[in-house]
Amino acid sequence: MGGVGSVGPPSKRRKVSSTEIPEKSSVSMADDAIGSKGVKKVEFVRLIADALHSLGYRKTGEYLEKESGITLFPSVINEFSQQILDGNWDESLNSLRKISILDESVVKSSSFVILEQKFLQLLDSQNPDDALRTLRTEITPLSINHNRVRELSSLVLCSGQAMVKPKPRSVVLHDLQKLFPPNVMIPEGRLLHLVEQALDLQRDSCSFHNSLIGKTSLFIDHNCGKDQIPSKTLQILQEHEDEVWFLQFSHNGKFLASSSRDKSAIIWEVNLDGKVSLKHRLLGHKKPVSSVSWSPNDDQILTCGVEDVIKRWDVISGECLCVYQKNDLGMVSCCWTPEGDRVFSGATDKSVIMWDLDGNELESWPSQKTVRISDLQIMGDGRYIVSICKENMIDIFDRSPLGCERIIKENHNIVSFTLSEDKKFLLVSLVNQEIHLWRIHGDIRLLARYKGHKVSRFVVRACFGGLDQAFVASGSEDSRVYIWYRETGELLETLAGHSGAVNCTSWNPTNPHMLASASDDRTIHIWGLNHVD
Amino acid sequence: MDVDPRQYENITINDNDSHNIVLSYLIHGCFKDTVESLVASTGLKVPAVQLEDMEKRKRILHFALEGNALDAIALTEHVSPDLLENNKDLLFDLLSLHFVELICSRKCTEALEFAQAKLTPFGKVQKYVEKLEDFMALLAYEEPEKSPMFHLLSFEYRQHVADSLNRAILAHANMPSYSALEKLIRQATVVRQCLSEELGKDVQSAFSLKEFLKS
């Protein structure tokens, strides 16, 4: 049929010579693609060979190069790299000139990098005359980087001193790699980098993601099922004698505190096997307890009676350590400073009061700081007071002398709010059955809305939770717990089990698979994963 | 601003004043022979000491303009002791002239040694660091005339250093560092500019000495 000169695509007959970079013939190899996205076979094989070499499998790498006929690097590049690592600057410059496909500017900048090291090495070994000669005859004529030339001149005066230490040679090779086009010297660890990129992408698109990194595998795409979100009642706690209004896990996830219309609060312990047991009953309030607040290091807890007093308790002993009260005033909310040295409370006269630990009032902010049933949070080392100041407004008040106030205004009445652990976000529950996520760090901005649950008559609370606080959970008047994906607002789960309105939820900060809910049906449900891990 | 000749007529000028103005200019510039001519023609008196000092100053400035900084420094020390001690900026400028000389004669090793010995001590003071770096950068170029710092090799630069040296020596000897002629020109320029600014908008341009003298 055809001889050498006959028709036929050149690629089928042309062999890659070992001193050329494969890309020189890439025009004819271009149709050697693998997969369906145009991945070039030559590049793919070179990446694998590079990965093998960097894992230490030199022989395998070389064998792959032989068998595929695709060289990782032409030998001149290998020689060049070795010369750099050995510090043979002059020879490396010769090799550099032999690498034909580099263009002039790359050759110049690379020469500069190499000669700079030569210069520094000469200075470091107390050879200023030779260093100066290198500068004058080799570096300056490159006519680039004049500022650096100026700096190098001044360094001539510092022969042998610390500031002329040359860089480690592996760093020099790395710098040169960055100057060369990527198909000449493959960036270090490129294959691993591509794999890690893919893993990141998979994780980002997983809306149920609620487990730690150790579970990812390269063999299947990462895709959590709903099975990573707590959805099964593992335990029902029935120790309260009336509606349970509030509950919260401690910061360290070892305890849970709940408060009830039965005028008591209970501290529960989370045991190592995941079971929750009663630790202390906190009795003594004369009114229903509307909320609790854990101290920053979880050794104490505040309980707030409805328009009544605030009590401070020791968690280990269950003893009441102090009572906070002011004549003729009832408290409506309570909160610790991040240092745990002060207590803040909202009062029925719409003021906010700051107390020391012994029950002495230190300061108060009189007007319009809070409404009758309210939440209160402190952030920024005690500098900012966050409260519901009017029915549809949240006030972020800066206590410092020149501080200003920032207001979040909603179009509907606000029922409750929660501050995120990192104090940068606010979840606001509204009476129109929406929960709004606001960013309060920097510009105040509404980020997302969560819908589907029922709120009309009662105070219902929402919380953040799960791995990286990726989820939002809320109670609802239809007796269910609702869970949304924070980023998109997608409703992921509704958990049935309670027989009364669910007032409050809390996600265990140290166990993304444990969620607690408090209900008018007098019980607390502990939710966990729907299967055994 | 228009020249009003009537105003000028009313001012009398003393011959002596004119002569002194010219003399101060000549002394400032070390024009010794011209001074002697002027003295002979006008009957002005100039003390002999002043003439000798002028001769020495002339030699110092000549060395500086040639780039022979070392001789300039030595003679300055002789004529006005402590002057350079108290005027480090000037000393640096003179030493740098010598450095530049060495560079221009392509004696790089010597230049480097000189810099290490004499110039680096200045590097401890922040204000000299940038200047020092400018000079050191000259070392990097085989053809310093083609470097970004070529102006340091120029006659204008040497002139600038020589002028500073001149003023310093005069000041040291309690003589005026600016000649009367120079002062007068400056005064006239400033006054005219102020006046033309005050008069406002229909003035065409800033005061031009050249134009004024021609009119």
Residue A196 lies in a domain: no
Contact residues on chain A for B141, CB-CB shorter than 8 A? 136, 140
Same domain, A253 and A162: no
- B136 closest CB neighbour out of A140, A146, A153: A153
Same domain, A133 and A232: no
Residues with Cβ within 8 Å of A212's Cβ and at least 6 positions away in sequence, in order, are A467
Q: Which two tokens stand for residue A378?
A: 């402190």
Contact between A32 and A12 under an 8 Å Cβ cutoff? The reply is no
Distance (Å) from the C-alpha of residue B150 to the closest C-alpha of chain A? Answer: 13
Distance (Å) from the C-alpha of residue B122 to the closest C-alpha of chain A? Answer: 13
Same domain, A292 and A379: yes
Question: pLDDT at position A372, please?
Answer: 61
Contact between A387 and A373 under an 8 Å Cβ cutoff? The reply is no
Same domain, A230 and A181: no
Residue A402 lies in a domain: yes
Contact between B111 and B103 under an 8 Å Cβ cutoff? The reply is yes
Contact between A26 and A10 under an 8 Å Cβ cutoff? The reply is no
Distance (Å) from the C-alpha of residue A114 to the closest C-alpha of chain B? Answer: 17
Same domain, A332 and A445: yes
Is B116 in contact with A157 (Cβ distance < 8 A)? yes
Same domain, A376 and A276: yes
Residue type, A377: Q
Residue A47 lies in a domain: no
Looking at A145-292, list the stretches that DSSP marks H as alpha helix, in order from N- to C-terminal side.
Answer: 146-155, 169-179, 190-204
Q: Which two tokens stand for residue A219?
A: 């063999």
Sheet strands (E) in A373-488: 376-379, 384-390, 393-398, 405-409, 414-419, 425-430, 434-439, 445-451, 462-465, 471-474, 481-485
How far is it, in rounded angstroms, from Cα A410 to Cα A432? 11
What mean pLDDT is reported for chain A? 84
Contact residues on chain A for B139, CB-CB shorter than 8 A? 132, 135-136, 153, 156
Question: pLDDT at position A301, please?
Answer: 94
Question: pLDDT at position B86, please?
Answer: 87
Low-confidence ranges of chain A (pLDDT < 50): 1-30, 533
| Cα-based distances in Å from B153 to B102, B105, B147, B158 | 11, 11, 10, 8
Nearest Cα residue in chain A from B132: A154
Count of domains for chain A: 2
Same domain, A142 and A234: no
Last residue of a domain, one of A131, A160, A185: A185
Same domain, A283 and A157: no
Last residue of a domain, one of A185, A218, A237: A185
Question: pLDDT at position A263, please?
Answer: 93
pLDDT digits (tens, 9 = 90+) for A132-164: 888 888 888 888 888 888 888 888 887 767 777
Tell me the residues of chain A between 103 and 132 that have a Cβ less than 8 Å away from chain B.
Answer: 128-129, 132
Residue A23 lies in a domain: no
Question: pLDDT at position A265, please?
Answer: 94
How far is it, in rounded angstroms, from Cα A347 to Cα A365? 10
pLDDT digits (tens, 9 = 90+) for B54-95: 888 899 999 989 888 899 889 888 888 888 888 888 999 999
Contact between A295 and A256 under an 8 Å Cβ cutoff? The reply is no
Residue A190 lies in a domain: no
Q: Which two tokens stand for residue B23?
A: 């003399």
How far is it, in rounded angstroms, from Cα B95 to Cα B54? 23
Same domain, A379 and A469: yes
Best of A133, A140, A143 to disrupt the B interface by mutation (most B CBs within 10 Å)? A140
Is B136 in contact with A154 (Cβ distance < 8 A)? yes
Residue A207 lies in a domain: no
Q: Do the interacting molecules here have an ipTM over 0.90?
A: no
CATH code, domain with A349:
2.130.10.10
**With an 8 Å Cβ cutoff, is A136 touching chain B?**
yes
Question: pLDDT at position A367, please?
Answer: 64
How far is it, in rounded angstroms, from Cα B27 to Cα A110? 59
Same domain, A180 and A256: no
Looking at A99-227, list the stretches that DSSP marks H as alpha helix, in order from N- to C-terminal side.
Answer: 104-124, 128-134, 146-155, 169-179, 190-204
pLDDT digits (tens, 9 = 90+) for B35-55: 888 888 888 888 888 888 888
Distance (Å) from the C-alpha of residue A122 to the closest C-alpha of chain B? Answer: 15
Residue A22 lies in a domain: no
Question: pLDDT at position A40, please?
Answer: 87
Is A157 in contact with B139 (Cβ distance < 8 A)? no
Q: Which two tokens stand for residue A387?
A: 């409260």
How far is it, in rounded angstroms, from Cα A362 to Cα A265? 27
- Binding-site residues on chain B for chain A (CB distance < 8 A): 108-109, 112, 115-116, 120, 123, 132-133, 136-142, 148
Distance (Å) from the C-alpha of residue A156 to the closest C-alpha of chain B? Answer: 8
Segments forming the whole domain that contains residue A142: 73-185
Same domain, A168 and A276: no
Q: Which two tokens stand for residue A131?
A: 């260093």
Last residue of a domain, one of A131, A152, A185: A185
- What DSSP designation does A212 have? -
Low-confidence ranges of chain B (pLDDT < 70): 1-6, 200-206
Contact residues on chain B for A137, CB-CB shorter than 8 A? 142
Distance (Å) from the C-alpha of residue B65 to the closest C-alpha of chain A? Answer: 27
Residue A50 lies in a domain: no
Q: Is A13 helix (H, G, I), strand (E, B) or coil?
A: coil
Q: Which two tokens stand for residue B115?
A: 């810099």
**With an 8 Å Cβ cutoff, is A163 touching chain B?**
no
How far is it, in rounded angstroms, from Cα A407 to Cα A359? 30
Same domain, A173 and A239: no
Contact between A520 and A501 under an 8 Å Cβ cutoff? The reply is yes
Q: Which two tokens stand for residue A130?
A: 């030779």
